[in-house]
A = this chain, B = another copy of it.
């Protein structure tokens, strides 16, 4: 069924039934002028938004709409994780061409709902409108964090350890595989990570519980770029070791197969949505405890935060080089 045949209010009716949630935080959700949300005393609210544009952020020739729905919410949830916050609810704006079919829009929202259920973030409202040509998505997420407990980008200081969760390079591998076509079965984890990334909500709160985390950011634009943001906001430099960067096995295998350098997978794999963070050196007073935590939470130490004057550098086979922190620029 084409959207033009169902009409705007037909779409809203379908989505309202589909997205209804039992959350006791949402006093009133889809169907009124705005969502009404019960707050927790002693908590700050956290608000963030991300836009995804067809042809720029996603390609519908190889992206299932259901996965696109998941990803649209996941990328904003990742921003909450990077603040140490937990999700409360989301509101979603989509603009779709009238020639689009209702089943496609429903698939999109069903993926979005699936992600919302996985991370306790129900959809509390939105706006579904027509676009002339391209599919646009913007998701805003409200989260919460105990007052005084949010982790900013600006808290790193010289001597802190710079760490990352999980592994890097998977999303870029997934993108290369999907856009090249035909080898999806050989790189299943990467394809999955690119299409349906995991925001590190639970990992973030576990990290904060167990380590003196001084600053944090999510890896959406690639490691080098995020290191740049974090050091710039904290007015520090840093020094990492290339061999410490946890490259995904599939990324290494793809690069070898295609005889390409692994460097873009190490430094420029956007959309991995791991957490890059710094830990106060006090954590190393108990090296055994730190080692255990790092292992259990899959944390890797990349290097050390330095004074700003030392700049941002990477050590590779004993040689020190400046790290180019430009990263993914939408307009460049």
* Residue among B8, B142, B329, B330 making CB contact with A329, cutoff 8 Å: B8
A116-140 contacts to B (CB < 8 Å): 124-134, 136, 138, 140
Task: Identify which of B41, B128, B131 contacts A136 (C-beta below 8 A).
Answer: B131
Question: In the complex, A28 Cα to B51 Cα: how many Å?
Answer: 21
Residue A27 CB within 8 A of the other chain? yes
Q: Does A48 contact B (CB under 8 A)?
A: yes
Do A125 and B56 have beta carbons less than 8 Å apart?
Answer: no
With beta carbons under 8 angstroms apart, the residue of B4, B82, B128, B134 that contacts A34 is B82
Q: Is A196 an interface residue (CB 8 A)?
A: no
Does A203 count as interface, using CB distance less than 8 angstroms? Answer: no
A153 touching B48 by the CB < 8 A rule?
Answer: no
Determine if B34 and A332 form an interchain contact, defined as CB atoms under 8 angstroms apart: no
A91 near B49 with CB under 8 A, answer yes
Interface residues of A in 36-76 (CB under 8 A from B): 36-39, 41, 43-57
- Bound: A45/B56 CA distance, A: 33
Stretch from A92-100, A166-174, A187-195, A282-290 that touches the partner: A92-100
Min CB–CB distance A112 → chain B (angstroms): 14
Is there an interface contact between A39 and B36, defined as CB atoms closer than 8 Å? no
- Give the interface size bracket for A toward B: 35 or more
- A280: CB under 8 A from chain B? no
- Asked if A143 is an interface residue, CB under 8 A from chain B, the answer is yes
A19 CB–B CB distance under 8 Å: no
Nearest Cβ on chain B to A326's Cβ, whole angstroms: 9
Chain B residues with CB below 8 A from A27, complex form:
44, 150
Contact B331 A48 (CB under 8 A): no
Does A218 belong to the interface (CB within 8 Å)?
yes
What chain B residues lie within 8 Å of A83 (beta carbons)? 32-34, 36
Q: Which of B36, B52, B80, B329 contacts A46 (CB 8 A)?
A: B36
Tell me the nearest residue of chain B to A95, going by C-beta: B53
Q: Is the CB of B152 within 8 A of A28?
A: yes
* Residue in B44, B50, B233, B331 whose CB lies within 8 Å of A11: B331
Knowing A33-B153, A44-B37, A50-B93 are in contact, say whether A57-B129 is a contact too (CB < 8 A).
yes
Q: Is the CB of B145 within 8 A of A36?
A: yes
Measured CB to CB, the closest approach of chain B to A78, in angstroms, equals 8
Within 8 A of B (CB), among A289-332: 329-332
Question: Cα distance A92–B127 when bound, in Å?
Answer: 14
Q: Report if A21 contacts B (CB, 8 A).
A: no
Partner of A45, one of B8, B37, B145: B37
**Interchain residue pairs with CB less than 8 A apart (24):** A7-B331, A8-B331, A28-B152, A32-B152, A32-B153, A34-B48, A34-B83, A36-B45, A36-B145, A37-B46, A37-B47, A38-B147, A39-B39, A41-B41, A47-B91, A47-B140, A49-B138, A50-B93, A51-B136, A53-B95, A93-B138, A130-B331, A132-B134, A134-B134
